[in-house]
Structure 1
Amino acid sequence: MYEQFYHLESDPFRLSPDSKPSFRHDSYNYAKTYMLYSLRKGEGVVLVTGRPGTGKTALLRDFVQSIDHESVLTADMVSTQLQSDDLIRMIAFSFGIEKLIGDESTILAELEQLLIGIRNFGRRVLLIIDEAQNLEPASLKKIERLMALRWKSEPLIQIFLIGREDLHETILANNLPLLRERINAVISLKPLDEKHTLDYIKHRLLQAGWENNPTLDDEIYAPIFNHSHGIPRLVNLICSQLLLNGMTEDNHHIGLSEVNSVLDQMLKDQMLPSPRRQIY
């Protein structure tokens, strides 16, 4: 649609994660560095949290691509795949056990033997669960059982739980003493600040082949930041609407009036939260 109108090579503000390199702002770089450091330590449970739309999925994809998979066997899954009754079964399947015969204790014992063999072969084991805030208390209890597995006095498996900001509170609020004890790091992915919001918008445009079409006034970034709260998904939503409106109005320039018009309509349509502060 507007890609052709503005002579862009691709949609710069897709709402779903894409394969393009992520925008590496300060919080993103810190989170990835700490995740890799925690992986090298190879101990316990790591929580990676953030508000919806802050880029946890992109961060996770980047992190997984940075892993040395010859030394670390990795399985990743989304919590919606994991009902408490079959969580251990699904985890075993993800690590390559295809014939899942027997009750949960039998499957857990088989998984333990598989993982011990992997560790004896010189590899470590990492399980990643995305959208972990949706795990039921019964599922978290079963993750405790995984954390109780040992190899030469070390944890047999390391677990990264990725989820919303309330993930840590959910764990603390339930009777999960072993899981709480094994949490070695809580890494928070923060929204963009105002400067990084500007940088993010230009980063996305340049990745799509932007050559100053449309032209952008400097005044547009502050209201976009205020109404998006620095959340990349909301920045994408606003900017996509700006480009769409520009195309329908045959406009190759985006200034403050265009931004205010789009933001007003999006607020009326309840597509955005209340702005951080009022701009007069």
Structure 2
Amino acid sequence: MYQEYYGFREMPFNITPDPRFLYLSPTHLEALQHLKYGVAERKGFIVLVGEVGCGKTTLCRRFLNELNPDHYDTALILNPRVTETQMLKAILTELGETKLARSQVDLVAQMNRVLLDRIGRGRDIVLIIDEAQNLKTDVLEQIRLLSNLETDKQKLLQIVLMGQPELKEVLAREELRQLRQRILVHYELHPLSANDVRHYIQHRITLAGGTGRPNFTSWALRAIHRGSQGIPRIVNNLCDRALLAAFIRDSDEVNYWDVRRALRDMTNLTR
């Protein structure tokens, strides 16, 4: 409703993981650099942890967009609630393989052949698993075994595990100590600071085509930071509802009371 009123080309606070809208706060920039370093240096296992809604998936898509497609083949797994066999099939399918073996043993052999062939053609392979805290222990063990696939000089597969803070608890299990020892790059995303939230909001409004309308008052920004606790997805939800409240008032200013109304609406939805 407010898009045309404020002159936006598109909605500025959609919660879809569009990498164009990624705001590289200090913590997001550092996380991106950790991902790039781990893959470029072929570290094998990389873990990225962050709270729900902190921007892990958006950051992942930005990372994938920045990988050179002439050099890297990638597999992105978004639904990790699978068996070992299903995981192997999902990875091979993501890598573009159409004829898949049936048994788990044959799938591992096929994976080895596919990876060796691509490494032989000068390509690197990156596997990214989102929501990795949902992986079963036996599937994580299978992924560890995949990391054993290597030539005399390099690993055949670079593996990135992304997940919520519960992933740390999963990896701390005694039965996963071998996997834990292989994690050479680890980073945890932190919430946005008050200053980050201010820049984040302006960043998204500008990308959406905003030309100075509307203006968020300082008290509105403080309320957004406090109410969201610096989580980008919650910032988006609050800003979207606060903009609607300001639009209803025919105002070019989003004030503290607009944010309070947005917070109240969100609180009512969770009851």
TM-score range, shorter chain: over 0.9
Distance 1:205 1:150, change over 3 A: same
* Aligned-partner SS, 1:76: strand
Q: Say if 2:7 is the partner of 1:2.
A: no
For residues 127-168 of structure 1, give each alpha carbon's deviation from its aligned partner in whole angstroms, at most 9, with x where no partner exists.
111111111112111102201212115322110111112212
**Corresponding position of 1:148:** 148
* Aligned-partner SS, 2:20: coil
**Corresponding position of 1:48:** 48
Output the aligned Cα RMSD: 1.9
Whole-angstrom distance in 2 between the partners of 1:269 and 1:93: 39
Identity over aligned pairs, percent: 29
**Corresponding position of 1:58:** 58
For residues 241-274 of structure 1, give each alpha carbon's deviation from its aligned partner in whole angstroms, at most 9, with x where no partner exists.
0111222333332222332343344334438xxx
TM-superposed CA distance for 1:120, in Å, is: 2.0
Runs of 4 or more consecutive aligned structure 1 residues displaced over 6 Å after TM superposition: none
Whole-angstrom distance in 2 between the partners of 1:67 and 1:32: 12
**Corresponding position of 2:235:** 235
**Comparing 184-193 with 256-265, which one deviates more in the overlay?**
256-265
Equivalent pairs, count: 271
Whole-angstrom distance in 1 between the partners of 2:218 and 2:19: 29
Whole-angstrom distance in 2 between the partners of 1:14 and 1:28: 19
**Corresponding position of 1:187:** 187
* Aligned-partner SS, 2:128: strand
**Corresponding position of 1:70:** 70
Whole-angstrom distance in 1 between the partners of 2:96 and 2:216: 51
**Corresponding position of 2:217:** 217
Distance 1:151 1:6, change over 3 A: same
* Aligned-partner SS, 1:53: coil
Whole-angstrom distance in 2 between the partners of 1:174 and 1:84: 20
For residues 203-242 of structure 1, give each alpha carbon's deviation from its aligned partner in whole angstroms, at most 9, with x where no partner exists.
1111122223223322211111011001110001001001
Structure 2 stretches of 5 or more lacking a match?
A: none
* Aligned-partner SS, 1:126: strand
* Residues 19, 62 of structure 2: 8 Å contact kept: no
TM-superposed CA distance for 1:113, in Å, is: 1.5
Whole-angstrom distance in 2 between the partners of 1:100 and 1:214: 54
Distance 1:263 1:177, change over 3 A: closer
TM-superposed CA distance for 1:18, in Å, is: 2.4
Whole-angstrom distance in 1 between the partners of 2:223 and 2:229: 10
**Corresponding position of 1:275:** none
Whole-angstrom distance in 2 between the partners of 1:22 and 1:261: 26
TM-score calculated relative to the size of structure 2: 0.93
Whole-angstrom distance in 1 between the partners of 2:49 and 2:180: 15
Letter in 2 for 1:72: Y
TM-superposed CA distance for 1:31, in Å, is: 0.7
TM-superposed CA distance for 1:121, in Å, is: 2.1
* Residues 79, 135 of structure 1: 8 Å contact kept: no
Whole-angstrom distance in 2 between the partners of 1:99 and 1:266: 47
Distance 1:219 1:123, change over 3 A: same
Whole-angstrom distance in 2 between the partners of 1:81 and 1:137: 11
**Corresponding position of 1:247:** 247
Q: Say if 2:182 is the partner of 1:177.
A: no
* Aligned-partner SS, 1:160: strand
Distance 1:103 1:246, change over 3 A: same
Whole-angstrom distance in 1 between the partners of 2:79 and 2:182: 20
For residues 77-121 of structure 1, give each alpha carbon's deviation from its aligned partner in whole angstroms, at most 9, with x where no partner exists.
213463334211222222233212341111211210121122222
